[in-house]
Amino acid sequence: MIQEFVKPIASRILLRRTALRSTAVRLFILCSFALLSIQIFSARAESSPMSADNYPSSSRIIQQDSTLIELGTNIARELKGGEAHTFRLNLISGQFVRVVVNQKGIDVAVTLFGPDGKQIAYVDNPNGKWGAEPAIAIAEISAEHRLEVRSPNKDADAGSYEIKVVDLREATAKDKDFVAAERAFEQGRKLFGQRTTASQREAFEKFKQALVLLQSNEARDRQAIMLHVLAIAYYDSGEVQTAAVHFKRALPLFQAEGDRKQEANILNYLGGASDISGDLQEALRYYNQALQIFPAEKDQLLEARLLNNIGKIYFDFADWQKALEYYGRALPLFGTLNNQRSTANTLRNIGSVHVYLGDANKGLEYYQQALRLQRTVDDKAGEALTLTLMGFAQARLDNPQQSLENYNQALQLHRATGNRRWEAITLGTIGSTYSTIGDQQKALEYNQQSLELIRAVGDRRYEATALGNIGDAYALSGQPQKGKEYYDQALALFRNLDDRHSIARMLQGLARAERGMNNLNGARSRIEEALSEVEKVRGRIGSQQSRASYLATLQTAYTFYIDLMMQMHRLSPTEGHDAAALQVSERARTRSLLEMLTEARVNIREGVDAALLERERNLLQLLNAKAQRQVQLLGQKNTGVQHAALSKEISELEDQYQQAQTAIRKSSPAYAALTQPQPLGLKEIQTQLDQGTMLIEYSLGEERSYVWAVTRNSLKTYELPKREQIEKAARLVYGLLTARSQSKAGENAQQKGERIAQTDSQLLNASKELSQMVLGPIGPELGAERLVVVADGALQYVPFSALSVVSGQSSVAQRSRTNNEPRTTDNGPPTNYRPLIQDHEIISLPSASALAIQRQGLAHRKPAPNAVAVIADPVFSAADERLGAQAKTGAVKQSQADGAANTRIIEHLAEDSGLIIRRLKFTRQEADQILAEAPRAKSFRAIDFKANRATATGGELSKYRYVHFATHGYIDSERPDLSAIVLSLVDAEGKPQDGFLRAHEIYNLNLPAELVVLSACETGLGKEIKGEGLVGLTRGFMYAGARRVVVSLWNVNDKATAELMARFYRGMLKENKTPAAALRTAQMEMSRQRQWQSPYYWAAFVLQGEWK
């Protein structure tokens, strides 16, 4: 019955379809999401109440001696798989009888036979191995009847049951209605099992008739079961929303009966229904509710399926790490149950994640494991599905012929097993492969076959998907009009299904088709409608992280819209389309950050249940403890198992913590009163800019990129090369800039010097090339004294202060300067290199809208009363000289550290020594030099043991305008909330303590600082999320109240950083310069000294936020 559960695929396929993109990408989405859905729902099919195997068949059972049962009799028996027990029951004509068999660890079917051997009652509820199976009837003649209890599955593990005659009386009118309801219900099951459209419609009427008959009866348990079966029938028929209505009616009935297992089962189905309808957050909530029922009610199979389902939701959220973690939890449970089919399905899902992550070879390894298991258990249907995915993996490895070979093998198996839905799907994947290799005619032929077959099967959802795929194929073959016809048909079907994800995707396809027909206004209307649907879905997601992940999957829609508006601008330059494109760019950026900054204005915890707040605090403490232990394991030998276990625990705690925060927001009166922020348009952006300031905002696209140069009175736009070209150049520049911080095994000082000289020489050319790409077109217009840069993609890693306007294209600002003497690097001859910092202040912003929201929130805040607080030179080790402990091992490790590169980087100094964090002696000098510039009475100094978490979180720092951390940074690019500032790891007695001030704690700080400086390594980096940018420490401090933050882009040099920071604070505290101006001055001064002339030493630090 696997094909009955493929209906969810359509929404998954179209979730990320982008028409006119690579057909290989579209093909993978079709395959991987289809398979993920199969794993999730096929397990339910094994116990489907409509399965033909549920009906009596004595040929497979072992008969045993019958026992007479009477009213009140309660008999307990053990039963093995395939066995049957028979009982005798004396009935009088007109008597109503109800016999209840309570299952305990084995699924049974109960049949009541009349004296003539004819079946008069049958029951096999969809309750698995536990729960009641009540058989009811009214005797037509007075005689002995036979009741059979059997295990339909000969391979089932042994279990037990109890049987009891609960009612035996003269039938009343209610009893007759009860029996009539059961008969109608049984007829409905048989009709539905015929699997024709007409029989299914008739089955629904029978089910409804049964429910009407039961209305006068108080048998809530039977009402619950009938609603459950009716819901499953609708579910199987693809009417998922109708199914969900009936599941929700059944749920409180099962809860009233105390049937936790059925409650969990229904929650699992509701999760699947929400998933199919596109509400992934609600699906996750249902799955987690079901999962919480365990371990009070042990059902490892359902638990494993739920874990797998949750993994799929995280897959859809593009949170691949969490998807892998949940699949990893499900896998051993399936193994313990020796459920090889489900084990193979999960292995296949894990393989799909790896392929989606770009490691097709690793994905193939998992597919091969799944394939071996499927062939062992002779799972032809599963084998066919795996072969389909293997075909895609081969396509990703540019092996189209091997891909077609896999598909054709799969197609034969689908046909042999009668899996017509998957036959249709595979025909579509073959068509997509032909499209990839340029044979659009064959692609259309296979897609048409796929459509015809899926229509014969009667799956409306996948019919819509197939129509959309054909629309794609026509669009790719240069026939947008025909593509539009198919998109329109698909859109109508998806609207009827209320599948907002797929509706949005079809609207995107229509937008592209309209553009292909040169109907640009029509294209604009369609893409705007598509993004409106996207916004509705996003608005239903509670977690900010999930919102960000969701929007990240839809960035291509925004870049298409931008490109469309710029095309319209080229045709009609005076109609404001360039301004509209800029607003779309803002709509695509840092939406979660905007909402978080808005939220930061209020105390969302005020008025929230104290128990919920306590849960949040407890989870945070647990999360910190586990994260601390994980850091301690880094670098140690043979800790892979421990590390994996901790990662699993941390992931679970993060989930719970996010859920607690979502619950707090939902129950917070202050949060409910907030108005969600809207991205800015051109006029609003211009009001944020003062005279002498230019905003430079980038949007990198697949075919071409754009940059907007905005001043208070003007807007100019320029077309740039495509994303791939710009990002390649940006990564090269970043690699060359950071070459000094990298150590190579076996490299001596001379060799390192030669390598650095070579990279410096390459840096000049690479920087020139990147500057030409991203600044060349703007160059002559750069007259502003201040440049505010909103970067995109890999440009976020590049310090624009170190880029330059290309020779021959001097900017207005450069032409106004007289000091244009040639410059040198510390290892090379004079050059014409003139970095932007020489002529401009450089500010970085995540988006223009983020600045506006931040300004609104801080507009009336008074500056803190005191000047500077410095936390520096923490104690990281019990072997630190400040403890007077000069143990031999400690001395050796310190000598190794002294020989290491002089950077603020956490290193593994020995394979078996764990993670050793070197002391940064220059941070003490840095602290002293900063405080020498500040009023002594208004300064705060926390060094040595006092530079700890208690100091950072105790509230003292809220009294200072400038807060400076000079220490190590710890960046977790996978879990950005675990990124941290590293403070003292031991106390004054040498006892270990948690010294990691993590991002999720920083969010909870009250830090109304005018400036926070993170004088450590890579503090400006984090997890890159499309649309959100680099998520890490910076936004934590902004949420906590910092007006601006200075952070680093790479592993900085300890001594150079101390020198830079001294100059920076001198400019602010002695010369009364703004932080932006002071940073620029300090960087220019450093760049003019031969020792620090390389941009590596001075360009790492960038200012994000307010420049005024």
Q: What is the pLDDT of residue 546?
A: 63
Sign of CA dihedral 157, 162, 168, 171: negative
Average pLDDT rounded to a whole number, residues 1058-1072: 94
DSSP string, 301-366: HHHHHHHHHHHHHHHHTT-HHHHHHHHHHHHHHHHHTT-HHHHHHHHHHHHHHHHHTT-HHHHHHH
Cα distance between residue 1087 and residue 984, in whole Å: 33
pLDDT over threshold 50, residue 11: no
Q: Give percent above pLDDT 70 in the chain.
A: 85
- Indicate the SS3 state at residue 992: strand
Q: Which of these ranges, 339-343, 439-443, 631-635, 823-827, has the smallest mean pLDDT?
A: 823-827
Q: What is the pLDDT of residue 635?
A: 60
pLDDT range class, residue 46, cuts 50, 70, 90? very low
Contact in structure between 903 and 1016 (CB atoms under 8 Å): no
Cα distance between residue 348 and residue 390, in whole Å: 10
CA angle 1009, 710, 1020 (to 5 degrees): 40
pLDDT range class, residue 628, cuts 50, 70, 90? confident
Greater pLDDT, 507 or 622: 507
**Token duo for residue 502:** 């797929």
Sign of CA dihedral 217, 219, 224, 225: negative
- Indicate the SS3 state at residue 160: strand
**Token duo for residue 324:** 């892998």
Cα distance between residue 600 and residue 928, in whole Å: 33
pLDDT over threshold 60, residue 609: yes
**Burial class (CB within 10 angstroms; exposed 0-12, middle 13-18, buried 19+) of 444:** buried
List the beta bridge partners of residue 1024: 1030
Greater pLDDT, 306 or 237: 306
**Token duo for residue 708:** 């907007």
Cα distance between residue 248 and residue 266, in whole Å: 8
Q: What is the pLDDT of residue 937?
A: 87
Cα distance between residue 768 and residue 402, in whole Å: 43
Q: What is the phi/psi pair of residue 62, to 5°?
A: -105, 115
Q: What is the pLDDT of residue 914?
A: 54
**Token duo for residue 710:** 């905005």
- CA dist 37 to 32, 33, 241, 743, Å? 9, 6, 17, 47
At CB < 8 A and 24+ separation, what contacts does 359-362 make? 360/393, 360/394, 360/396, 360/397, 361/397
Single-letter amino acid, residue 874: P
Q: What is the pLDDT of residues 865-879, one digit of tens each?
A: 999 999 999 999 888
Cα distance between residue 770 and residue 795, in whole Å: 10
| Residue 620, C-beta contacts closer than 8 angstroms, at least 6 positions apart | 657, 1000, 1001
Orientation of helix 460-476 relative to helix 440-457, angle to 10°: 170
pLDDT range class, residue 233, cuts 50, 70, 90? confident
Residue 295 preceded by cis peptide, ω within 30:
yes
pLDDT range class, residue 37, cuts 50, 70, 90? very low
**Token duo for residue 425:** 């799907």
Q: What is the pLDDT of residue 540?
A: 63
pLDDT over threshold 50, residue 898: no
Q: How many CA atoms, within 13 angstroms, populate the side-chain half-sphere of residue 488?
A: 8
Q: What is the pLDDT of residue 713?
A: 93
Among 292-306, 434-448, 806-820, name the most confident range: 434-448
CA angle 1023, 1028, 1030 (to 5 degrees): 35
Contact in structure between 998 and 1013 (CB atoms under 8 Å): no
pLDDT over threshold 50, residue 602: yes
Taking the whole predicted model, whether its pTM rises above 0.75 is answered as no
Greater pLDDT, 816 or 944: 944
Average pLDDT rounded to a whole number, residues 725-731: 95
Average pLDDT rounded to a whole number, residues 159-172: 93
Contact in structure between 965 and 1014 (CB atoms under 8 Å): yes
Sign of CA dihedral 360, 363, 367, 368: positive
Q: Which of 477, 447, 483, 480 is nearest to 462 (CA)?
A: 447
Q: What is the phi/psi pair of residue 679, to 5°?
A: -60, 155
Q: What is the pLDDT of residues 77-112, one digit of tens each?
A: 999 999 999 999 999 999 999 999 999 989 999 999
DSSP string, 788-837: EEE--GGGGGS-GGG--PPTT---HHHHT-S----B--SSS--B----GG
Contact in structure between 450 and 424 (CB atoms under 8 Å): yes
Contact in structure between 240 and 234 (CB atoms under 8 Å): yes
Q: What is the pLDDT of residue 356?
A: 66
- CA dist 806 to 349, 418, 794, 831, Å? 50, 66, 20, 13
Kind plus residue range of the DSSP H or E element containing 1101 = strand 1101-1105
Contact in structure between 756 and 736 (CB atoms under 8 Å): no
Token pair 């108005």 in the structure block, residue: 675
Cα distance between residue 844 and residue 787, in whole Å: 9
Average pLDDT rounded to a whole number, residues 587-609: 82
pLDDT range class, residue 23, cuts 50, 70, 90? very low
pLDDT over threshold 50, residue 807: no
Q: What is the pLDDT of residue 41?
A: 37
Token pair 């003649």 in the structure block, residue: 141
Single-letter amino acid, residue 687: T
Among 736-745, 984-993, 1021-1030, name the most confident range: 984-993
Q: Which of these ranges, 58-72, 746-760, 928-942, 1071-1085, has the smallest mean pLDDT?
A: 58-72
pLDDT range class, residue 781, cuts 50, 70, 90? confident
Q: Which of 303, 302, 323, 299 is nearest to 313 (CA)?
A: 323
Q: Which of 568, 500, 508, 563 is nearest to 534 (CA)?
A: 500
Q: What is the pLDDT of residue 817?
A: 46
- Indicate the SS3 state at residue 163: strand
Mean pLDDT, the chain, integer: 82
Single-letter amino acid, residue 653: L
Q: What is the phi/psi pair of residue 826, to 5°?
A: -75, -5
| Residue 638, C-beta contacts closer than 8 angstroms, at least 6 positions apart | none
Greater pLDDT, 838 or 833: 838
Cα distance between residue 1017 and residue 1048, in whole Å: 6
128: left (phi over 0), alpha (psi -120 to 50) or beta: left
pLDDT over threshold 90, residue 984: yes
Contact in structure between 579 and 531 (CB atoms under 8 Å): no
Cα distance between residue 907 and residue 3, in whole Å: 53
pLDDT range class, residue 319, cuts 50, 70, 90? low
Greater pLDDT, 220 or 934: 934
pLDDT over threshold 50, residue 675: yes
Token pair 């095309």 in the structure block, residue: 567
Q: Which of these ranges, 276-290, 650-664, 1089-1103, has the smallest mean pLDDT?
A: 650-664
Q: What is the pLDDT of residue 549?
A: 66
Q: What is the phi/psi pair of residue 111, to 5°?
A: -130, 135
Contact in structure between 755 and 739 (CB atoms under 8 Å): yes
Name the DSSP class of 52: G
Cα distance between residue 1047 and residue 1043, in whole Å: 13
Q: How would you label 34-62 residue by residue, b for 16+ Cβ within 10 Å and e otherwise?
A: bbbbbbbbbbbbbbbbbbeebbbeeeebe
Cα distance between residue 544 and residue 180, in whole Å: 52
Q: Give percent above pLDDT 90 in the chain.
A: 43
Single-letter amino acid, residue 685: I
Cα distance between residue 590 and residue 592, in whole Å: 5
Q: What is the pLDDT of residue 970?
A: 86
Q: What is the pLDDT of residue 225?
A: 83
Cα distance between residue 135 and residue 121, in whole Å: 6
Average pLDDT rounded to a whole number, residues 156-179: 91
- CA dist 782 to 560, 801, 813, 868, 911, Å? 28, 13, 6, 35, 51
pLDDT over threshold 90, residue 277: no
Contact in structure between 81 and 180 (CB atoms under 8 Å): no
Average pLDDT rounded to a whole number, residues 525-542: 82
Contact in structure between 480 and 517 (CB atoms under 8 Å): yes
- Indicate the SS3 state at residue 955: coil
Q: What is the pLDDT of residue 902?
A: 65
Q: What is the pLDDT of residues 899-932, one digit of tens each?
A: 344 666 654 333 444 566 888 889 999 999 999 9
241: number of Cβ within 10 Å:
14
| Residue 362, C-beta contacts closer than 8 angstroms, at least 6 positions apart | 351, 354, 355
Single-letter amino acid, residue 267: L
Token pair 């609104």 in the structure block, residue: 856
Q: What is the pLDDT of residue 977?
A: 84
Q: What is the pLDDT of residue 812?
A: 45
Q: Which of these ranges, 140-154, 302-316, 828-842, 959-973, has the smallest mean pLDDT?
A: 828-842
